[in-house]
Amino acid sequence: MGKNSSGILITTRMYSGFQIVKKYLHYYIHAKNGKGHGVHSPFVFDFIIHVLNDKKTYDCYKQIEPLRQALLQDNTVIEIEDFGAGSAVIPYRKRKINAIAKSSLKNKKFAKLLFRIAKYYKAETIIELGTSFGITTCYLACADKNAEIYTFEGSKEIAKIAGENFNKAGLKNIKLIRGNFDETFLNTINAVKKAGLVFVDGNHRKNATLDYFFHLLKKSRQDSIFVFDDIHWSTGMEEAWKQIQEHPSVTLTIDLFFIGLVFFSLDFKVKQHFTIRF
């Protein structure tokens, strides 16, 4: 199961609940602990200490989370476009906002982590594939009010609500691209000079994920960071993640189970892959 270009979950041979729990337990047991012990990469150790384990309560946390709660309590029915194979969770065009929010919003633990990544590594250009209602987008945009945020959403109704959330948060540095990814992605990406931080959360299928990766790779630099959502949700996503890890341009990856981080710095002389508990 993944998300289509509207941010809605779609059937893609998702692992069963039992399989996911089993995989997570394996990850949890074998991952490096989240304190940095036994991690011999100075870069990854620094990431763990200053990003992963940053426990500060930033002002934007208090500003954005009420927007999430409002969505989760909103019973308004909206009609949305469904560009993918349909939703296995909510299989109707008319859907309640709170039901969509429950199935498509990235939880606050990872949304806050994305904020800290953008802030710590000073991403000037951020690309997000899969806006949904814009909660994660708000976190990314708050990291640096001068950064440029490009975010893609397929559904006009969902995009409208996301835009309202951006206004409520007072964020002016977000460019919201509405419409089917197949029609909007390439033209927008071709016009972007650099992909600083990328969050791929739009279409959780192997071929689509790899297509996004290869196109975005053309805009990557040594200091670029790509983040992929739900890398262990299906056989296809795990295969895509493995291919990304093996790509010659990729020099380091960090597996946090629910998301995967990709780095391209040539300072890493030997390709390294880390699995870290979070």
Q: What is the pLDDT along the chain (278 residues), one digit of tens a residue?
A: 344 444 434 445 788 889 999 999 999 999 998 888 888 899 999 999 999 999 999 999 999 999 999 999 999 999 987 654 444 444 458 899 999 999 999 999 999 999 999 999 999 999 999 999 999 999 999 999 999 999 999 999 999 999 999 999 999 999 999 998 889 999 999 999 999 999 999 778 899 999 999 999 999 999 999 999 999 999 999 999 999 999 999 999 999 999 999 999 999 989 999 999 99
CATH class label, 2-275: alpha beta
Cα separation values, 259 from 186, 222, 278, Å: 24, 20, 10
* pLDDT at residue number 273: 97
Which positions ≥6 away from 248 have C-beta within 8 Å?
A: none
Main-chain dihedrals φ then ψ at residue 2, nearest 5 degrees: -145, -155
Closest CA to 8 of 104, 99, 80: 104
Q: Does the predicted TM-score (pTM) go above 0.85?
A: yes
Structure-block tokens of residue 104: 């498509």
Domain ranges in the chain are 2-275
Instruction: Determine how β-strand 2-3 pairs with β-strand 197-200.
Output: unpaired
Write out the two tokens for 108.
Answer: 């606050």
pLDDT at residue 258, rounded to an integer: 96
Q: What pLDDT is attached to residue 169? A: 97
The whole-angstrom separation of Cα 136 and Cα 106 is: 7
b/e per residue, 210-245, with b = 16+ CB within 10 A?
Answer: bbbbeebbebbeebbbbbbbbbbbbebbeebbeebb
Q: Which amino acid belongs to residue 227?
A: V
Of 221, 270, 277, 278, the closest CA to residue 43 belongs to: 270
Q: Which residues pair with 2 in a beta bridge?
A: 10
Query: Tell me, what's the pLDDT at 85?
Result: 41
d(CA 153, CA 164): 14
Q: Residue 31 has which token pair?
A: 């991952």
Q: Is 42 left (phi over 0), alpha (psi -120 to 50) or beta?
A: alpha
| Strand stretches in the chain, DSSP E | 2-3, 9-10, 77-79, 94-96, 125-129, 148-153, 174-178, 197-200, 225-229, 252-255, 259-263, 272-275
The span from the CA of 114 to the CA of 266, in Å, is: 23
